[in-house]
A and B are shown apart, each in its own frame.
Chain A
Amino acid sequence: MIVANRKPFEEIIEMLKPYSKILLLGCNECVTVCATGGSKEVAVLASEIRLYRQKEGKPVEIGEVTLERNCDPEYVESLKPFIHDYEVVLSMACGCGIQFVGEHYRDRLVLPAVNTTFYGVTEEHGVWTERCQGCGNCILHKTLGICPVTRCAKSIFNGPCGGSQGGKCEVDRDIPCAWHLIVDRYRELNMMDKYLEIQPMKDWSTSRDGGPRKRVREDLKI
Chain B
Amino acid sequence: MRLSYPTNVKIIKVPCTGRVDITHVLKAFEDGADGVYLVGCLEGDCHYLVGNIRAKKRVEYLKHILDECGVGGERVAMYNMSSAEGQRFAEVAREMTEKIRTLGPNPAKKEK
Residues of A within 8 A of B (CB): 9, 40, 43-44, 47-52, 54-56, 59
Contact = CB atoms under 8 A, between A and B. Distances in A.
Interface stretch (B22-30, B39-47, B91-99): B22-30
Contacts of B109: 54
**Main SS at interface, chain A:** helix
Interface string B13-53: 00000000011001101100000000000000000000000
Which applies to chain B's interface (DSSP): helix, strand, loop or mixed? helix
B81 interface: no
15 contacts: A40-B23, A43-B26, A44-B22, A48-B26, A48-B68, A48-B69, A49-B69, A50-B30, A51-B26, A51-B29, A51-B69, A51-B108, A52-B68, A52-B70, A54-B30
Given A9-B68, A9-B69, A47 B26 contact: yes
B6 interface: no
Contact of B71 (A9, A44, A55): A55
B110 A54 contact: yes
A172 B30 CA distance: 42
B53 to A, nearest CB: 13
B107 interface: yes
Interface of B: 22-23, 26-27, 29-30, 65-66, 68-71, 107-110
B29 to A, nearest CB: 6
Contacts of A59: 110
B23 A47 contact: yes
B108 A48 contact: no
A43 B26 CA distance: 9
Nearest to B26: A47
Contact of A55 (B23, B26, B70): B70
Contacts of B30: 47, 50-51, 54
Given A48-B26, A51-B26, A55-B107, 8 more contacts: A9-B68, A44-B23, A47-B23, A47-B29, A48-B68, A50-B30, A54-B30, A55-B71
A43 B68 CA distance: 16
B95 to A, nearest CB: 24
B51 to A, nearest CB: 16
Contacts of B68: 9, 48, 52
Nearest to A8: B68
A56 B65 CA distance: 16
B19 to A, nearest CB: 15
B35 to A, nearest CB: 14
A55 B68 CA distance: 12
A51 B23 contact: no
Count chain B CB atoms within 10 A of each CB in A48, A52, A56, A59 and give the residue with the most. Answer: A48
A56 B110 CA distance: 11
A52 B107 CA distance: 9
A9 B23 CA distance: 17
A219 to B, nearest CB: 45
B105 to A, nearest CB: 11
Contacts of B26: 43-44, 47-48, 51
